[in-house]
A and B are shown apart, each in its own frame.
Chain A
Amino acid sequence: MEKIIPPNDLNDTLPTWRLLDTPPMTAAENMALDEALLEVKGEGKSPNTIRFLQFSPRTVLVGFHQALHEEIRRDYCQANRIDINRRITGGGAIFFDENQLGWEVFCDKAFFNAAIPNARLFKTLCEPVVAALARLNLEAEFRPRNDIEIDGRKISGTGGTESGKAFMFQGTMLVDFDVDTMLRALKIPVEKLKAKEIDSVKDRVTCLKWELGEAPALADIKQAIKRGFAKCLNIRLETGGLNAEEQKRFAKKRPRFRSLGWIDSVKPRFQKRETVRSAYKATAGMVRFTLAVNLPQKRLKDVYITGDFLSFPGRALYDLEARLRGAPLDRQHLHGMIRDYFDQGHIKIPGLGFEDFVKPLDQCLEKTEMAKFGIPLEHCNLISVVNGSFEEVIQKNPSVLLLPYCAKLTGCDLRYEKGCRVCGEDCCSIGPAWSMGRHMQMQVTSIVSFEDLWDELMRMKASGVAAYIGCCCQPFFAKHADDFKASGLPGILLDIDNTTCYDLDQAKQAYAGQFERQTSLNLELLETVLQIRVESCGNEVAA
């Protein structure tokens, strides 16, 4: 391409970089080109380069060392024409649709006088994009270690790698954002795809369209990023194409990046991702913790703190999440981080303090402890404990099984009574649970209201019951966690199915024992826990 040199242009003395604006490509092509460009640059056979990239079809990309199975909903992606591939850079899984723009820097390590990546380098490489956003009238900031955000919401995530003499640094620019598809394609730790949860993800990310009302033209965004780099790195950018060596390397690499050998190359032995969650109803509001954990490596991979409380400043909660991300899965360590954050005044929540945050966190950590009994973590999510750890409660050999009336048939004449005749009705889960408890030599009773529960707990305590197992829904537990605790009795509570009085907004009726729908116990989970009780305490089983 012919160079147009404006007269008296001082730019002429600036170092010239290549601007490589590649058309939308498949994920395999984009990844192959990344590696080709980096290698050739690392050998000193190409100019420093800024590349724009886009994907077609849309794609999910895992980080270099991540296991696909742990990060991506493969069936959904395959059914919805979403490419799956693996980056040559580190970091987490991302969803990249046709609306997003990627930017990349390939350059000599010498340009930044650095051979080792460091915080200052990341900042230097993010500043051009912050400047680009300023050109689009958006006030963005660099958030260590390497994100760009607007008012606490992430608009650009970045990552990088190196080869020989060169660095490669890449980032995304969210232009428009399909949260719903992202949540379905990636294993983001949200419970179910409820509107509320989509909103909580929306609170943590943003895109040009949401900020500006409409997405700017792609050419304008590219121009802003180009100018941002030119200004911040003090360089001149000149549009160019691939050189012969790059083309050769690109062609040669494509088959490998299309192969399962590359895409599926990491097996989830240590690269695990599992989710635990817990909620606590404090006086001033509900606090939910959702943790993505890597149990083999004892790491907190990701954390979402949500609820119906208000926190100040608006971004404080997201900053706390960012601090906790990647931390060791250690109770004391995490408590220390959260306490410091509150003590240093980074966050203010009317009516809520450090203690209200660590309660649901501790419940989450307790769930990870239960996994040691061989209960899959997804099932541990359905278990809560009071007045002791799971292990401690089991060791006390729980002798009473409490079952909620709401799981009885709505037409059952004993629905609002304490007993059950184990009639064998198909659609009732109380009968089988009742038999199971009896079979395990437990005293089984049905709970008909909150008052009845309290009376029952007090009766049990007075008669020397050491511990109990109960079934109730999560919202009931979250609401009454402090009551359960106040009873002083150690207990294990198992979640029941989803359509509870709380989902239907009928908590008041249920409280008074007038809830008219039928819920269902999780019999499989009950059996697992009762079995652990037998194994741990050597209980006799009734003949």
Chain B
Amino acid sequence: MEIQGYNLPEDLYYEKNHYWVKVEGDILVMGMDDFAQQLAGDIVFVQIPFAGKKLKVGKKFAQVESGKWLGKVYAPVNGELIEGNEALEAEPSLINQDCYGQGWMFKIKPADTDELNNLIHAPADIEKWVLEDIEKYKQD
């Protein structure tokens, strides 16, 4: 859905720091959402941790840099990192160009798919959350 200039597809799950999660069979694909991407500006670096890294929900596991800010990526669920998008090493701006497609960041094998229920998913919830954040991050 389109909310005040931000594109947030309804079929995705969202982590509160504005990362999206998509279910693809047994695994989860994760990336930065359009709101965070627009707020961050040009992404200049993405750290891709080694495959097999254990992820603990809410704990940081990777880093993303934009505008001299080194941001952290927090695990949306418990599980294991199985792949990072290596194309981002050469071209981190793929996140700015296509955050839900070519700019995907990580593939995760979740420990328990039930944990997805802790993420934001229902269209009404997505809308409420994004509207609140639009208000919260309104620039002067």
Please list the residues of chain A having a beta carbon within 8 angstroms of any beta carbon in chain B.
Answer: 63-65, 88-92, 113-120, 122-123, 145-146, 157-164, 269-271, 296-299, 326, 328
Contact = CB atoms under 8 A, between A and B. Distances in A.
B68 A145 contact: yes
Given A296-B90, A297-B92, A118 B137 contact: yes
A160 B69 contact: yes
B42 A114 contact: no
B89 interface: yes
Given A65-B65, A114-B136, A270-B90, A162 B71 contact: yes
A64 B71 contact: no
Given A64-B70, A123-B140, A271-B45, 15 more contacts: A64-B65, A65-B63, A65-B65, A90-B66, A90-B69, A116-B17, A116-B39, A117-B40, A118-B39, A120-B137, A120-B140, A145-B41, A159-B68, A162-B72, A297-B93
Interface string B14-56: 0011100000000000000000100111101101000000000
B67 interface: yes
A120 B17 contact: no
Contacts of A297: 44, 90-93
- Interface SS, A side: loop
B128 interface: no
A116 B70 contact: no
A328 B43 CA distance: 12
Contact of A161 (B41, B71, B90, B91): B71
A64 B63 contact: yes
A63 B44 CA distance: 12
B85 to A, nearest CB: 14
16 contacts: A63-B68, A64-B65, A65-B70, A89-B68, A114-B137, A115-B17, A116-B36, A116-B39, A117-B39, A117-B69, A118-B137, A158-B68, A159-B69, A161-B69, A298-B91, A326-B44
A485 B50 CA distance: 53
Nearest to B66: A90
Interface of B: 16-18, 36, 39-42, 44-45, 47, 60, 63, 65-72, 89-93, 136-140
Contacts of A89: 68-70
A254 to B, nearest CB: 21
Contacts, number: 91
A169 to B, nearest CB: 9
A328 B71 CA distance: 21
Contacts of A271: 45
B103 to A, nearest CB: 14
A457 to B, nearest CB: 43
Contact of A145 (B18, B67, B137): B67
Contact of B67 (A113, A146, A270, A298): A146
A116 B137 contact: yes
A271 B71 CA distance: 18
B93 to A, nearest CB: 7
A328 B136 CA distance: 30
A158 B93 CA distance: 22
A146 B68 contact: yes
Contacts of A88: 70
Contacts of B68: 63, 89-92, 145-146, 157-160
A116 B18 contact: yes
Nearest to A159: B68
A122 B41 CA distance: 13
Given A64-B65, A145-B67, A270-B90, A163 B137 contact: no
**Residue among B36, B45, B93, B136 with max Cβ neighbours from chain A (10 Å):** B45
A161 B70 contact: yes
Nearest to A301: B44
Contacts of B92: 297
A299 B92 CA distance: 11
A120 B139 contact: yes
A123 B140 CA distance: 10
B71 to A, nearest CB: 6
A269 B45 CA distance: 13
Contacts of A164: 60
Contacts of B66: 90
B105 to A, nearest CB: 15
**Residue among A64, A116, A120, A328 with max Cβ neighbours from chain B (10 Å):** A116
Contacts of A298: 91
A113 B90 CA distance: 34
B72 A328 contact: no
A147 to B, nearest CB: 9
Contacts of B44: 65, 90, 297, 299, 326
Nearest to A144: B67
Given A297-B90, A326-B44, A161 B72 contact: yes
A118 B139 contact: yes
Contacts of B17: 115-116
B71 A326 contact: no
B108 to A, nearest CB: 20
A161 B17 CA distance: 14
Contact of B45 (A90, A114, A161): A90
Contacts of B63: 64-65
B118 to A, nearest CB: 17
A119 B69 contact: no
Which 10 pairs of residues, A with B, have the shortest CB-CB distance?
A: A91-B68, A159-B68, A161-B70, A65-B45, A90-B65, A90-B70, A90-B68, A145-B67, A117-B69, A64-B70
B133 to A, nearest CB: 8
A271 B65 CA distance: 13
Contacts of A123: 140
Contact of A65 (B39, B47, B91): B47
Contacts of A162: 70-72
Nearest to A327: B42
Contacts of B45: 64-65, 90, 271
Contacts of B18: 116
Contacts of A158: 68
A92 B45 CA distance: 12
Contacts of B140: 120, 123
Nearest to A296: B90
